[in-house]
Amino acid sequence: MAAFSDDIFFAPLTDLNRRLRAREFSCVELTRAFCDRLEKYGPRYNALALLLREPAIRKAKAVDDELKRGRTRGALQGAPYGAKDLLSVAGQVTTWGAKPYAAQVFDYDATVIKKLDRAGAVLIGKLAMVELAGGGGYRYPAASLQGPGLNPWNRGFWSGGSSSGSGSAVAAGLTPFALGSETWGSILTPAAFCGVTGLRPTYGLVSRYGAMALSWTLDKIGPMCRTAEDCGHVLQAIAGGDSNDPGSAGKSFYFAPQYARPLKQLRVGFAEVDFAEWAAPEARKDFAEALNAIRSLGVQMKAASLGNHPYSLITGVIISAEAASIFEPLIRSGKVDELADQRQIAGLKAALELKSTDYLKAMRIRRLVQQEMAKIFADVDLLISPSRFGPASAINEALDRPSRPQPEAKQRGLRDLGAFGNLCGLPALSLPCGFANGLPIAVSVVGRPFAENTVLALGIAFQKATNWHTRRPPV
């Protein structure tokens, strides 16, 4: 049995795949090693919901047989991974992170699970998440069946959510990659807080069939990996049209960053105020260096800012209205009271009071936001901003009532890029770019719809020029 060092547990996917094909170790050995590691360390971060050792070993044996016969399937073949526990896996519990659904079992695989299986990836576990992906709003990180997601860099701090287990599992080298989901921040936040690379794809690029719905208008599934390049490989495997998903764009994705426009032709919009004033003081130095690193890539930097639409208000209304409809049986039956977080319970109940005219107004303002987006992207190719303005919060801190005063600035800059990007269904890549008080921080690169290759090209170049993404927490 091969002995695995940290170099394997923190290796990028292409490296793992090369070593598997060179028979340095078998897929079964690799899978066992990651299962052992996930089983041992996953609970340390409340990252693991369900270990899938036996089906994983069966799959790993099948992969070894294929490799022996010379049947290759690409960069993900043989790679263990974890899936956020809102993705159904046939015959296994899928809890949505929530007590009312703790015994829920589906008899089919989510489309993304099937696609990764065809790519030869090995699902080793379901990863913890904030209950119901936090749709009602939640106050504490403990809003989860598995308890608060703990940050591998410092367990006194939050891993971020709602893809909390996905972020911490990749950060701690428990899985080479993981699937997360984002409605409003749930891939980029744990990626930023845990120091991993997370990709939120364009809305509709990846099928949501078999995933818990929180907001039909905003839900997206995406990869969380050690590198931007790995995100590209995973996205290629999971993207594609699906008639089972009404939101499917019917488009495929071929990872080809080498065919994206040369970096020196790219116009990158940013707002100085985001990095200098909105950012937490302890993060400004590393954010400034990250901005310089991006400048050094030869891109054309341009000032950019958003308008004055009520981005956060309408994003909140859209999510609340759709979540209230999706979870209406849960709320009206009273089982919503079984959730862990009081703010979440109150939020879901209150959401039933939203008027249809408010939802429609929000969706009409969304049309105006989309028009604004088209104008912005006539002038720039990408937007960059801090993924989050500071590092992770302490584990007992109320998320809606920060204990420290938050920075204020007169100009909005791109402060609302999170709401804006999700409203418009834009792709975004969170890139580790430094540390603040010993905790990771990150920048986000946001592109036009379906411009993932351009977004990834910048991310790959940034990661060639920096090494933040190679740092490892003490596990």
Partner 1 sequence: MMSTKVSRRALAALLVAPAAPAQEPKETLEQETRRRIEQTLADSKKLTAYAVPMDVEPAFQFRP
How distant is the alpha carbon of residue 55 from its chain centre? 25
Nearer Cβ to partner 1, position 7 or 400? 400
- 57: contact with partner 1 by CB under 8 A: no
Query: Which uninterrupted H or E stretch holds 267?
Result: strand 267-270
Catalytic residue among 26, 59, 84, 144: 84
Residue whose token pair is 């990180």? 141
Query: Which uninterrupted H or E stretch holds 32?
Result: helix 27-41
Look up 84 and say whether it is catalytic.
yes
Of the candidate residues 18, 364, 404, 464, the single one contacting partner 1 (CB under 8 A): 364
CB of 142 to partner 1, least distance (A): 5
Nearer Cβ to partner 1, position 340 or 383? 340
Look up 186 and say whether it is catalytic.
yes
* Contact string 191-210 vs partner 1 (x = CB under 8 A): ------------xx------
- 475: contact with partner 1 by CB under 8 A: no
- 367: contact with partner 1 by CB under 8 A: yes
Residues 429 and 10: their CA atoms lie apart, in Å, by: 20
Contact range with partner 1 by CB under 8 A, out of 66-74, 104-112, 253-261, 281-289: 104-112
Task: Please compute, for residue 190, the number of CA atoms within 13 A of its CA located in the half-sphere on the CB side.
Answer: 43
CB of 250 to partner 1, least distance (A): 8
Contact range with partner 1 by CB under 8 A, out of 72-80, 257-265, 275-283, 342-350: 342-350
CB of 375 to partner 1, least distance (A): 15
Residues 10 and 3: their CA atoms lie apart, in Å, by: 14
Look up 312 and say whether it is catalytic.
no
Contact range with partner 1 by CB under 8 A, out of 13-21, 192-200, 364-372, 426-434: 364-372
Contacts of 278 (CB under 8 A, 6+ apart): 386, 389, 407, 409, 413, 415
Confirm if 141 and 148 have CB atoms less than 8 A apart: yes
Nearer Cβ to partner 1, position 369 or 456? 369
* DSSP type of residue 406: P
- 37: contact with partner 1 by CB under 8 A: no
Helix locations, 296-355, DSSP H: 311-326, 328-333, 342-351
CB of 1 to partner 1, least distance (A): 24
Of the candidate residues 76, 205, 314, 456, the single one contacting partner 1 (CB under 8 A): 314
- Pair of tokens at residue 370: 């989309």
Residues 170 and 234: their CA atoms lie apart, in Å, by: 14
Residues binding partner 1: number (CB under 8 A): 67
Of the candidate residues 104, 252, 265, 333, the single one contacting partner 1 (CB under 8 A): 104
Residues 228 and 298: their CA atoms lie apart, in Å, by: 19
Of the candidate residues 159, 164, 168, 248, the single one contacting partner 1 (CB under 8 A): 248
Residue whose token pair is 């509709």? 204
- 95: contact with partner 1 by CB under 8 A: yes
Nearer Cβ to partner 1, position 213 or 288? 213
Contacts of 222 (CB under 8 A, 6+ apart): 179, 180, 181, 182, 187, 198, 199, 200, 201, 206, 231, 235
Nearer Cβ to partner 1, position 83 or 234? 83
3-state secondary structure of 245: coil
- 50: contact with partner 1 by CB under 8 A: yes
Nearer Cβ to partner 1, position 13 or 128? 128
CA-CA distances (angstroms) from residue 395 to 9, 62, 157, 271? Answer: 26, 41, 5, 30
What count of other Cβ atoms lies within 10 Å of the Cβ of residue 381? 21
Sign, CA torsion 448/452/453/455: positive
Contact range with partner 1 by CB under 8 A, out of 47-55, 65-73, 286-294, 467-475: 47-55
Residues 331 and 338: their CA atoms lie apart, in Å, by: 10
Catalytic residue among 144, 166, 186, 215: 186
Q: Which residues bind partner 1 (CB under 8 A)?
A: 42-43, 46, 48-51, 91-93, 95, 102-108, 128, 139-140, 142, 144-148, 203-204, 216-217, 246-250, 310, 313-314, 316-317, 320, 337, 340, 342-343, 345-347, 349-351, 353-355, 358, 360-368, 370, 425
Catalytic residues: 84, 162, 186
